[in-house]
């Protein structure tokens, strides 16, 4: 409870300026100035804007490299004298070795046909080093011991014979690959596709079970992100960087359009989360997987 109060006070200070502005004002910063690899970093994003406009905060699918999304926490919208403020606390981890790591998150101002991104100023974290270099000693300070004892050197290996054997093995391997290489590559790709699909289905069905139990907007958003990441890896298209509208235009499937729009209404419109649209996304991913397997099989 104490941590939540502290986060709320920081969020309020970021989101509510001294004088109301006509345009959206966005502020974001980390609560600490340093972090170790794998530790959780807390980033607070606040926005102050006129009451008559709509503002969206970024979800887990936005590119935040070198940081990896862990979770987030919303605070209720507060409106005073025609000015609204919103704030969200994001939790990230990093596994990159760079000594200085920077992040700047936007909020999106909703217009009739598109959105405008308004970014906060960039904030940075310093990476704490855990490895300590050992002490070193000067060569002239080390006591060296002289010896004239004979040291036997192993006799040389039969390099000519070894080279001949290695050449024969490489020649046989090259011949085998020339004959069976296409089959081997096809088998490897199909196995990789099966493994990726199995991992996706395991994670996705787990999320569906959680949705049936709690119908949480956060779990719903995480499930859509999982679906986009799988399709991105399968088709090599940037699904995770696309908005819902752009995804619908790229896929051009009426059932997917209805499913994604229904999910958006439940996440951002406060409607009850329905599992059926998520099942439609899962069926679409399965169909894409089967088509890809068929394509690889006949290459």
The pLDDT of residue 109 is 93
How does pLDDT run across 262-288, given as a tens digit for each residue? Answer: 888 888 877 777 889 999 999 999 999
Last residue of a domain, one of 127, 145, 164: 127
Residues 186 and 123 reside in one and the same domain: no
Give domain status of residue 238, yes or no.
yes
* Predicted TM-score of the model (pTM): 0.43
**Sign of the four-CA dihedral 254, 259, 264, 270:** positive
Same domain, 197 and 115: no
pLDDT surpassing 80 at residue 27: yes
Same domain, 118 and 215: no
Which of the four pLDDT bands, split at 50, 70 and 90, describes residue 15? very low
Give me the mean pLDDT over the 59-87 stretch. Answer: 91
Among residues 96, 111, 117, 99, the alpha carbon closest in space to that of 28 is found at 117
Domain hosting 93: range is 2-127
Mean pLDDT of the residues in the chain: 84
Same domain as 184, residue 122: no
Has residue 161 been placed in a domain? Answer: no
What is residue 16's predicted lDDT score, i.e. its pLDDT? Answer: 47
* Same domain for 116 and 17: yes
Domain boundary among 127, 158, 192: 127
Counted domains in the chain: 2
Q: Could you say which of 97, 112, 127 is where a domain stops? A: 127
For residues 196 and 296, what is the distance between their CA atoms, to the nearest angstrom? 15
As a whole number, mean pLDDT of residues 154-158 equals: 66
Q: What is the DSSP string of 214-229?
A: H--HHHHHHHHHHHHH
- 100-116 pLDDT, tens digit per residue, is 999 999 999 999 888 89
CATH number for the domain harbouring residue 33 = 2.60.40.10
Task: Provide the b/e sequence for 73-107 (b: ≥16 CB within 10 Å).
Answer: bebeeeeeeebbbbbbbbebebeeeeeebebebbb
192 and 287 in a single domain? The answer is: yes
């Amino acid at each position: 409870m104490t941590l939540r109060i502290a986060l709320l006070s920081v969020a309020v200070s970021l989101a509510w300026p001294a004088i109301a502005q006509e345009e959206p004002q966005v502020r974001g910063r980390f609560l600490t100035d340093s972090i170790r690899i794998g530790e959780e970093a807390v980033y607070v994003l606040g926005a102050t804007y006129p009451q008559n406009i709509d503002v969206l905060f970024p979800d887990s699918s936005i590119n935040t490299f070198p940081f990896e999304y862990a979770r987030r926490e919303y605070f209720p919208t507060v409106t005073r004298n025609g000015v609204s403020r919103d704030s969200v606390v994001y939790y990230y981890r990093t596994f990159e070795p760079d000594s200085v790591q920077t992040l700047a998150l936007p909020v999106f101002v909703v217009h009739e046909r598109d959105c405008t991104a308004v970014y906060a100023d960039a904030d940075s974290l310093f990476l704490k080093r855990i490895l300590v270099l050992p002490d070193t000693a000067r060569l002239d300070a080390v006591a060296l011991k002289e010896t004239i004892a004979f040291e036997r050197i192993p006799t040389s290996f039969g390099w000519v014979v070894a080279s001949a054997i290695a050449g024969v093995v490489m020649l046989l391997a090259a011949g085998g690959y020339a004959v069976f290489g296409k089959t081997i590559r096809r088998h490897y790709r199909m196995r990789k596709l099966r493994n990726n699909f199995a991992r996706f289905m395991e994670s996705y069905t787990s999320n569906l079970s959680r949705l049936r139990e709690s119908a949480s907007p956060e779990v719903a958003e995480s499930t859509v992100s999982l679906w986009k990441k799988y399709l991105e890896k399968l088709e090599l298209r940037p699904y995770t960087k696309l908005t819902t509208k752009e995804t619908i235009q790229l896929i051009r499937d009426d059932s997917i359009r209805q499913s994604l729009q229904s999910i958006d209404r439940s996440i951002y419109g406060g409607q009850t989360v329905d599992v059926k649209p998520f099942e439609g996304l899962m069926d679409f991913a399965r169909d894409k997987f089967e088509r890809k397997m068929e394509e690889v099989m006949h290459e």
